[in-house]
Amino acid sequence: MKFFLDTANVDEIRQAVAWGVLDGVTTNPTLASKEGRSFREMIEDIASIVDGPVSAETVSLDVEGMMAEARAVTSWAPNVVAKIPMTGHGLTAVRRLADEGVPTNVTLVFSATQGLMAAKAGATFVSPFVGRLDDISVDGMQVVRDLAEIFTIYGYEAEIIASSMRHPLHIIEAAKAGANIATLPFKVLEQMVRHPLTDAGIERFLSDWTKVPGYATAFQVGGPKR
C-alpha cells in the first residue's frame, strides 16, 4: 500500500521522506491557503522533495479552464498530477487530458458511481472522501470497497486514493478495503508511528541499560570486552 501526505507543508513532507515511507503528496486549495506562498512555487518545491506523484488542484469549473490549468500545473514538474473535481465538465476534461497523456486525480468523489465514471473517463487516480462521508453518518469506506471490487472485475487501471482520512484506523480499513493509496494528514502519519507501550518500553530498557557493567563505553570501537 502506498502512503501519500495530504498537505502543502514542506517540513511535514521532508519528515515523511526522512522516515522512508512517502510515495506522493496531495494538496487542495484549503491546504495551500495555510502556507502563505505562491501556488506554483509551493508545488514546484514539493515536487522536488517527493519522489512520486504530487496532486495540484484546478479551480476552473468549465472544461477549457480545467484543461488549461491542468496543462499548466503538469508543466511545472514531471511528477505533478492535475486534480480535477468530480463534475460532468470534470469528466470531459479528464477524458481529453487522458488522451493527451496528462495524468489526473479525480477529487471530491462521494459515491461508487462517481468513482466508476471517473475511472471510465480515464482518470489516473480516483479519490473517494471517506471522512467527509463518515461525518454525515454514511459509511465512507464502503465506497472504497465497492470501487476496489469494481476496478478489479473490469480491469480499470485507475488507482484508488482513500482520502479524507481522519485517524489511523481509517488507514487499516482502507488497506483491507483494497485502496491502492491512502492520503494522510501528517498528524495521522505520526499517530501511526507512535505507541505508548513503545515509549514505555524504551524508557524501561534505557533505565535497565545503566545497570549493565561498562554500559557507557560498550559501543566504543576497541572498548572493554568485559
Please identify every residue annotated as catalytic. Answer: 83
> Which CB, 81 or 93, lies closer to ligand E4P?
81
* Residues 101-140, interacting with ligand E4P (CB under 6 A): 107, 127, 129, 131-132
Among 5, 6, 86, 102, binds ligand E4P (CB under 6 A): 6
- Pick between residue 34 and residue 211 the one whose CB is nearest to ligand E4P: 34
Q: From the CA atom positions of the chain, what is the Rg in Å?
A: 21
Through-space distance between the first and last CA atoms of the chain, rounded to whole angstroms: 46
Residues 163-182 that bind ligand E4P (CB under 6 A): 163-164
Q: Which residue among 67, 147, 183, 188 contacts ligand E4P (CB under 6 A)? A: 183
Q: Which of residues 25-44 bind ligand E4P (CB under 6 A)?
A: 26, 28
**How would DSSP label each residue in the chain?**
-EEEEE---HHHHHHHHHTT---EEE--HHHHHTS-S-HHHHHHHHHHH-SS-EEEE----SHHHHHHHHHHHHHH-TTEEEEEESSHHHHHHHHHHHHHT--EEEEEE-SHHHHHHHHHTT-SEEEEBHHHHHHTTS-HHHHHHHHHHHHHHHT--PEEEEBS--SHHHHHHHHHHT-SEEEE-HHHHHHHH--HHHHHHHHHHHHHHTTSTTGGGTTSTT----
Shorter beta-carbon distance to ligand E4P: residue 45 or 134: 134
Nearest approach, Cβ of 213 to ligand E4P (angstroms)? 53
Q: Considering the complex, what minimum distance in angstroms separates the CB of residue 207 from ligand E4P?
A: 40
Whole-number minimum distance, CB 43 to ligand E4P, in Å?
14
Kindly tell me which of 115 and 155 has the beta carbon lying closer to ligand E4P.
Answer: 115
As measured in angstroms, the least distance from the Cβ of 107 to ligand E4P is 5
Q: Give contact residues for ligand E4P (rule: CB under 6 A).
A: 6, 26, 28, 107, 127, 129, 131-132, 163-164, 183
